Amino acid sequence: MLRPMMLLCAALAAAGLCAEKGFAPSLVPTPKGCLQLEVKKPKGEHDLAKAMAQAKKEKKFLFVQYGRENCTNCQKVWNMLGDGRVKLPKDFIYADTSCDDEETRGTFEATFSVEDDGLLYPYIVIMGPDGSQLAFKSGLGTPEQYNAMIKKAREDFALPQP
């Protein structure tokens, strides 16, 4: 079932129906009272190229969330970031990017490599201040996994922990 849904949205994106900047509107109706309505979405830059340039200029790390608005896994990561279970240090910038945006998809694919199956959103990438890819994960993780990714990326880049 997952692949037909991915193919449907890819076809819609190719047809220009999901190609607006930022996030495409959800094609899935949300029932009244659904917990998806309670998403605590953190503030983030939607333009991936702009976020990457800002991170390099400010010599900061970049935490990239690449997915789509109506993805339950993406919503759960938003909640983890929004309620503080996943803590981005002050030397991190957050990029909240849409796989349905053609320009974003091109920038993502040209810059980062998918190191596992890469079948489930969100794709989480941590980019170093020099533009290097330090970490990658696809699909839903736990707050502990994301916090460990952040810590390991900082250690791999040889910066002292805050």
Query: What is the pLDDT tens value at each position of the chain, 162 positions in all?
Result: 545 444 444 444 444 443 335 554 544 555 666 655 567 788 899 999 999 999 999 999 999 999 998 888 999 999 999 999 999 999 999 999 999 999 999 999 999 998 766 689 999 999 999 999 999 999 999 999 999 999 999 999 975 555
Largest CA distance in the chain: 48
Cβ proximity of 86 and 77 under 8 Å: yes
Taking the model in full, what pTM does it have? 0.76
Give helix 48-58 / helix 102-111 axis angle, nearest 10°.
50
- Nearest to 89, CA basis, from 137, 130, 155, 147: 147
What's the CA gap between 67 and 122, in Å, rounded?
5
